Amino acid sequence: MSFTEPAGRVNLSDYRSSESKPEPWVNHAATIDSDVAQYFLVSARCGCFMQAARSLNVRSTLLRKQLAQLEQQLQRSLFNFQGSALSLTREGQQLQARLITLAHERKLPVIQQPLIRLAIAESILHDILGRDLISLLRRNASLRLEIIALDSEVSLHTVNADILLWLANGETVHPGPTFATTEPQRLAQLDYLPHIAKRYSRVTARPESPEDLADFMLVQWQPDRQVESFRPWNELVERRLAGVVQMQSYDLMLEMIRCSACIGLLPAYMSRFDRGLIALPGLFARPMQLHAWLAVNADSQHLPEVQSLTDLVHHTFNERHEWFEP
């Protein structure tokens, strides 16, 4: 959104006369609560109450309530809506100029946010946590977050992060992270099955044994080649003399299955994530499984941002518990 003045900026020269002889009500700017003053300035800069609330990490309803109370306190209207655009009234522009001047005089410091490092298995980030994480970032635009994709257990041993969310063989976490963490928590057991797009597979022609896969192209995400529990699938792919694609990109592997009549190994929950995909059970006698684990860096576990992200992970897995049922 934009203001009648570009990006809500005020040409201070337009108000030199009012600054030299300020109207009495403008003198009250120095008494405005610092949080409320920040709400006003950020709203003026963003030209949107919703975006201002995201930047400040507060509820939009709270921000608008505080600004309404500010208008009552000053007995002045500070904002106008022109169509869908938010703009400042003349009084709002005067208050903005005065608060900017006061802010420069006080030299208010910028509050630095801690950098939070989230190391997460790429498939979990894409399939399970991605949407909720985006929702969190939509609500909190001031968060400093670094996301590190983990594509194997080996990569887990080369990172140092505040929150770790990874996939591992077996029901014990060994050797686990290489630095001090909270006690690792097992979040879910993930079963893996070959999948194909529904539109490329008629019920009567779906493969029922490994031999039936000979007429289909197989696609393999290369990090899966190192997973011991995936040996039945990996051995099948390795024996292939034709009709196989291996790749490093998880997204592209999914797209190959969706759009190229390929069969690939995916978590059994994938048909819930993408209704266009269907699992092919019964092809292998030996189950293929991984376990999702969560651990928090012992040095940063008490940071509010870390606790918030950890709560988000627990909430997401609890909400999708049906995805992980056998």
Per-block mean pLDDT, blocks of 10 residues, the chain (326 long): 38 41 72 88 88 85 92 90 82 87 64 88 94 87 88 78 92 78 94 92 76 90 93 94 93 93 95 93 93 95 94 96 90
Q: Of 106, 129, 152, which one is at a domain's C-terminal end?
A: 106
On whether the pTM is more than 0.75, the answer is: no
Same domain flag for 75 and 159: no
Q: Which domain holds residue 67?
A: 6-106
Same domain flag for 79 and 166: no
Looking at residue 16, which CATH number applies to its domain? 1.10.10.10
Q: Identify whether 81 is part of a domain.
A: yes
Quote the number of domains for the chain. 2
Q: Identify whether 75 is part of a domain.
A: yes
Same domain flag for 102 and 119: no
pLDDT in the model for residue 18? 40
Q: Identify whether 1 is part of a domain.
A: no
Same domain flag for 126 and 257: yes
Q: Of 76, 106, 136, which one is at a domain's C-terminal end?
A: 106
Give the Cα separation of 292 and 300 in Å (integer). Answer: 21
Q: Identify whether 66 is part of a domain.
A: yes
Phi–psi pair at 26, nearest 5 degrees = -65, -30
